[in-house]
């Protein structure tokens, strides 16, 4: 029999002590992202959440998402406390589209090598996002993947759950001709289109992430890491004061394609480009990459992160709520009858003022 000592888990690349240290560091952050309905604490095998009995016919809504290749910008810049905000935004802002209030979220972090301080920063952003959206960080998982991922590589995903009263469920069936589309400004690229943005800005234009870009008024890396705006509470506030038919979260596929998803058969949302001017980051990408307008609009949000489709009589009321909440908003277009009972759609007309 050989005297050679057998292989250990640590020698295989998994550091259990580092994982425990990471939990110790981010536990106080996670505890801040809670709600009264949470039962138990961190460390259990499952998170417990008591559903409020105020609902007559509660419908649970669930959504899962990630951050995409924006993760690579954070990795290169070694800034880890913002992409968690993006992660939460991508999940909870999908939930609120149907009128659901986000209740809780669970995250998953895969990483090549657990550095406790790094993991704590990642969870810090998730916890902050949960606080901003009013949901609880009910639990999660950090998985170390040596050999599968390089030591500095990581990825994030999350699943969120919300609830909406059945009678208040928003969706295409509520939308009518004459309804008005109200745009809510995005904070930048959000978390979509980064494969194209990185190709154009980092490879074609050859810009380093620490380069100051005059059009941005800051470095390229700072612009690309700008967190996704979280609209959940803003949308719920609008719902409380105005007749909302549905919302549209503008993510992958762009404004028109996503808005078409919440239109019923026989109508089209007609949107006017002249009502807004996309931000500098979109102009720079289009110029440096000579990207066609069609490709820009199918890849990026172009400055519109969320759309509320509302009763025409409640437009002023809805926009007043958004103004009070410091959300830049404007009338984007109108829902009109489509020709020949066509499939649901949305079209963009006109030109941006300075694009």
Task: Summarize the confidence of residues 328-341 as an average pLDDT.
Answer: 91
Listed range (70-74, 182-186, 342-346) with the worst mean pLDDT: 342-346
Query: Could you tell me what percent of the chain has a pLDDT over 70?
Result: 91
For the cut 50, the answer to whether the pLDDT of residue 1 exceeds it is no
Q: What is the pLDDT of residue 4?
A: 55
CB neighbours of 246 closer than 8 A, spacing ≥ 6? Answer: 97, 98, 170, 171, 172, 174, 175, 262, 309
Token match 């991508």: residue? 90
State if pTM tops 0.85.
yes
Q: What is the pLDDT of residue 305?
A: 98
Q: What is the pLDDT of residue 222?
A: 97
- 343 — pLDDT class (breaks 50, 70, 90): confident
> Residues 148-205: pLDDT tens digits?
999 999 999 999 999 999 999 999 999 999 999 999 999 999 999 999 999 999 999 9
For the cut 70, the answer to whether the pLDDT of residue 3 exceeds it is no
- 283 — pLDDT class (breaks 50, 70, 90): very high
Q: What is the pLDDT of residue 51?
A: 86
By three-state DSSP, how is residue 12 classified? Answer: coil
Q: Which domains does the chain have, with CATH numbers?
A: 16-168 (3.30.1330.10), 172-349 (3.90.650.10)
Question: Phi, psi at residue 270, to the nearest 5°?
Answer: -100, 115
> Residues 291-312: pLDDT tens digits?
999 999 999 999 999 999 999 9
Instruction: Report the alpha-carbon distance of residue 80 to residue 267 in Å, rounded.
Output: 43
For the cut 80, the answer to whether the pLDDT of residue 10 exceeds it is no
Q: What is the pLDDT of residue 116?
A: 86
Mean pLDDT of the chain: 92
Q: What is the pLDDT of residue 33?
A: 84
Instruction: Report the alpha-carbon distance of residue 314 to residue 222 in Å, rounded.
Output: 37
What is the DSSP code (8-state) at residue 81? S
Q: What is the pLDDT of residue 42?
A: 67
DSSP E strands in 75-205: the ranges are: 101-111, 136-144, 154-165, 180-185
Q: What is the pLDDT of residue 100?
A: 97
The side-by-side arrangement of strands in the sheet containing 267-272 is 244-249, 304-310, 180-185, 329-337, 267-272, 345-349
Q: What is the pLDDT of residue 187?
A: 97
CB distance 65 to 158 below 8 Å: yes
Instruction: Report the alpha-carbon distance of residue 68 to residue 135 in Å, rounded.
Output: 22
Q: Which residue from 255, 344, 261 is spatially nearest to 296, judged by alpha carbons? A: 255
Task: Summarize the confidence of residues 316-327 as an average pLDDT.
Answer: 98
Listed range (34-48, 53-67, 157-171, 295-309) with the worst mean pLDDT: 34-48
CB distance 154 to 31 below 8 Å: no
Q: What is the pLDDT of residue 40?
A: 76
For the cut 70, the answer to whether the pLDDT of residue 91 exceeds it is yes
For the cut 70, the answer to whether the pLDDT of residue 8 exceeds it is no
Task: Output 39 or 122, whichever has higher pLDDT.
Answer: 122
For the cut 80, the answer to whether the pLDDT of residue 142 exceeds it is yes
């Amino acid at each position: 029999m050989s005297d050679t000592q057998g292989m250990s888990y640590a020698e295989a690349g998994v550091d259990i002590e580092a994982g425990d240290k990471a939990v110790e560091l981010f536990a106080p952050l996670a505890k801040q992202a809670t709600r009264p309905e949470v039962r138990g604490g961190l460390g259990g095998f499952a998170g417990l959440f008591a559903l409020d009995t105020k609902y007559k016919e509660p419908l649970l809504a669930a959504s899962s998402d990630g951050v995409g290749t924006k993760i690579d910008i954070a990795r290169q810049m070694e800034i880890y406390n913002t992409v968690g905000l993006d992660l939460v935004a991508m999940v909870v802002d999908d939930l609120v589209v149907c009128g659901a209030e986000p209740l809780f979220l669970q995250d998953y972090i895969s990483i090549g090598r657990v550095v406790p301080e790094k993991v704590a920063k990642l969870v810090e952003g998730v916890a902050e996002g949960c606080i901003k959206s009013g949901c609880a960080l009910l639990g999660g998982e950090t998985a170390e993947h040596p050999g599968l991922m390089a030591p500095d590589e990581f990825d994030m995903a999350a699943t969120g759950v919300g609830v909406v009263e059945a009678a208040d469920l928003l969706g295409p069936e509520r939308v009518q001709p004459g309804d008005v589309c109200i745009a809510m400004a995005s904070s930048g690229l959000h978390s979509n289109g980064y494969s194209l943005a990185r190709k154009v800005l980092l490879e074609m234009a050859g810009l380093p992430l620490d380069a100051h870009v005059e059009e941005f008024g800051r470095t390229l890396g700072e612009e690309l890491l700008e967190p996704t705006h979280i609209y959940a509470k803003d949308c719920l506030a609008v719902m409380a004061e105005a007749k909302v038919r549905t919302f549209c979260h503008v993510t992958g596929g762009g404004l028109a394609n996503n808005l078409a998803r919440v239109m019923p058969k026989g109508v089209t949302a007609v949107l006017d480009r002249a009502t807004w001017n996309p931000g500098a980051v979109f102009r720079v990408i289009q110029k440096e990459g000579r990207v066609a307008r069609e490709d820009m609009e199918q890849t990026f949000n172009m400055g519109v992160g969320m759309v509320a489709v509302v009763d025409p009589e409640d437009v002023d009321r809805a926009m007043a709520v958004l103004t009070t909440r410091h959300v830049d908003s404007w009338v984007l277009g109108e829902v009109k009858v489509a020709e020949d009972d066509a499939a649901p759609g949305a079209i963009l007309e006109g030109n941006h003022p300075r694009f």
